[in-house]
Chains A and B, each alone.
Chain A
Amino acid sequence: MDIVLQQLITGLGIAAVLLLVALGLAIIYGTMGVINLAHGEFVMLGAYGAWVLNAYFGLGLLASLPLVFLGVAILGWLVEKGVIRHLYERPLDTILATWGIGVMLQQIVRLTAGGELRYVQMPAALGHSTTILGVDVSAYRVFIFLTVVVLFAVTWLLMYRTTLGMKLRAIVQDRSIANCFGINSGRVFGLTFAYGAGLAGLAGALVAPLKSVSPEMGTGYVVDAFFVVVLGGVQSLFGTVGSAFLLGELTGVIAYIRNDTIAKALVLLAIVVLIRFRPQGLFAVRVRS
């Protein structure tokens, strides 16, 4: 029983990080149809942002979160205005262009901050571990879990309870009609992309204390996050939560039975099979195309 519970909570930890990274991607891909392969690099930039603010300005991790969010969001906005904006007619090409952007960001960081591993300190107040249902869990993991819940709630409110969200949903339904009603779709897309990028930055800053920070760290995240989004169903925020939970638990369980490599391979195979039979994702909602 203890092992099951332990596994469940380990899986939840993996799922929380997955969801954190995937949330921004889900918004960008789900609403704009842009496959943003630079997402991993936004995550990486967030982590470096936290490191720079910590090492040079003495800011604690929690204090640097808003700044990181803002910084990466502005960068995302610039990327949308400079490149993505021209590619809405050619969605497959966004894969290529954003990958190129990712390569550039990675190399810029490597040139300026150096290729060596960096470490970000955990907030002192969260360094201990607590006991939940008889299982030891690091307090920081719990903090990440709660943050993800809050971020998800904020995102949901933004999408379904604000004017911006309503405009965005109108554009997703039919862009030209939305334009006719006086919605500035270019501006809304710019803001959406910026918000998604900002979320990725936050994710990077939050996972920075768990793992070492390096220019290549984003690559692994983007692949996993992408699978979460595809599995969850492109336009469904709750689907993203469901698939993050599923993938997290699945990875945890298989890794426990076999090893990490086999776990990864099996999860990938499961996803391939799933895409084949349900390309719209597990939890898809019906939308007009």
Chain B
Amino acid sequence: MAAKPRSIRIGRAHIQVLVYVTVCIAVFLLPSFIDNDFLLNRIARYLVLSILAMALALSWGYAGILNLGQALSFGLGSYCMAMALKLRTVPVHTGAEGLPDFMVWNNIETLPLFWQPFYSLTFAIIAGLLVPALCAAVLGWFMFRGRITGVYVAIITLAALVVGNLLIIDQQPYTGGFNGITDLAQLELFGFEFDAYSSSTYYLVASGLSISLLTALAITRSKTGLILQAIRDQENRVRFFGYDVAAYQNFAFSVSAAIAGLAGMLYTVVMEFASPTFLGVPLSLAVVIWVAVGGRQSLLGAMLGAILVAGMQGALSESETFLDTWTLIMGAMFVLVVLFLPKGLAGLVDIVRDRIAGARGRPVDDEESAGDGAAAKTAGAAQ
């Protein structure tokens, strides 16, 4: 009998991996049922946003770092891709001697030094991952070494986001300012052309989604993931065990930023432009909503939250009657979720499962979820 709970837990782990892989496969199979390039582009867009939400769930749900500046990483990734694609447009679009058009309008004579390496697409893609990750690592080093937690992390990341946004808008000659970077060339990788309105781009997004989701899953299931959750619940106890808490937090924070950067790059490919709104406060807070609605402690839940909320927003804001009331509904939904479903929609799954288990007369919880509940309580008190 003693071995039974253990076998259940292993079973659950297998089921989780199975569910995640199934979702990835389903995402890949979707285009065979959809014959509409416009719709496919729309879906690809929501999938990209769901990657962004998943990145936040990794740092917020698993490591307890409420990053209100998630959009900063997203925007940086997006701009890296946009810069490379801008330099690949036909010279007609890019002003004299291959200079991007907005630079010509701002009387810039030569290509700025930091734009030069973006002639190489490989460099741009690496930069799209590394620039956000490095920025996050520096900020994280700054915060976590000083044992900044909870609300102050939220404030600092929000401030960093606002600073980034202000600078990009202010440095118009180098970044395109308010207008962002538009008129981009199509992405070409390994001889494939990625037209935003074709299934090729969709598959690119689906690959990005699968890779980042499975990477994140691997992290959460590893020992590091366990320590991260322990830090979320009781930071000091982990510290007393001799773990370098700041290093673990910084790891989660930077990986999350890199994934957000990847999402940003994909977003540029899907939307065909980069704009300062990609690193705006509204988007950054919207991501927090998606994750809260979907379930901050479930990668898949966060993704579903993003697709549901952003998708509903997209669908409802098209019809006249809902255009105005949508925001109202979203606000109300958000308040209700925070009040009644602190674990989001993914928490519903747990509740239903426990109900079924309870109805069968079996002990409702095994060790794992009982520990979760208690841990969540102490975490709440500690914050």
Contacts and interface: CB of A to CB of B under 8 A. Distances in A.
Given A86-B339, A276-B156, A268 B324 contact: no
Contact count band on B: 35 or more
Interface in A187-244: 219, 223, 226-227, 230
A264 interface: yes
Contact of B162 (A90, A91, A93, A223): A223
A55 interface: no
A107 B129 CA distance: 37
A261 interface: yes
A261 B166 contact: yes
Contacts of A97: 334-335, 338-339
B151 A92 contact: yes
Contact of B156 (A86, A219, A275): A275
Nearest to B68: A95
Interface string B303-333: 0000000000000000000001101101111
Contact of A107 (B66, B285, B328, B334): B328
Given A90-B380, A265-B163, A271-B159, A103 B152 contact: no
B148 interface: yes
B3 to A, nearest CB: 37
A57 interface: no
A96 B381 CA distance: 17
B375 interface: no
B324 A110 contact: yes
Given A90-B380, A96-B292, A268 B163 contact: yes
A110 B326 CA distance: 12
B338 A35 contact: no
A95 B151 contact: yes
A166 interface: no
Main secondary structure of the interface of B (DSSP, over half): helix
A264 B164 CA distance: 11
Interface residues of A, number: 41
A276 B148 contact: yes
Contact of A104 (B156, B169, B281, B335): B335
A277 interface: yes
B324 A111 contact: yes
Given A111-B328, A265-B167, A268-B159, A93 B152 contact: no
B154 A95 contact: yes
Interface in B128-159: 142-143, 146, 148, 150-152, 154-156, 158-159
A106 B326 CA distance: 12
Contacts of B381: 89
Among A89, A100, A276, the most chain B Cβ lie within 10 Å of the Cβ of: A100
Contacts of A223: 158, 162
A103 B327 contact: yes
Contacts of A83: 335, 339
A122 interface: no
B181 interface: no
A113 interface: no
30 contacts: A35-B151, A89-B380, A89-B381, A90-B380, A90-B383, A92-B151, A92-B154, A95-B66, A96-B288, A97-B334, A99-B285, A103-B334, A107-B324, A111-B325, A219-B281, A226-B155, A227-B159, A230-B152, A261-B169, A261-B170, A262-B170, A264-B162, A264-B166, A265-B170, A268-B162, A268-B166, A269-B159, A271-B159, A272-B159, A276-B156
Lowest 3 A-B CB distances belong to which pairs?
A100-B334, A103-B331, A104-B331
Given A83-B335, A91-B383, A279-B148, 14 more contacts: A87-B339, A97-B335, A102-B331, A103-B331, A107-B324, A227-B155, A230-B152, A230-B155, A262-B170, A264-B162, A265-B167, A275-B148, A275-B156, A276-B156
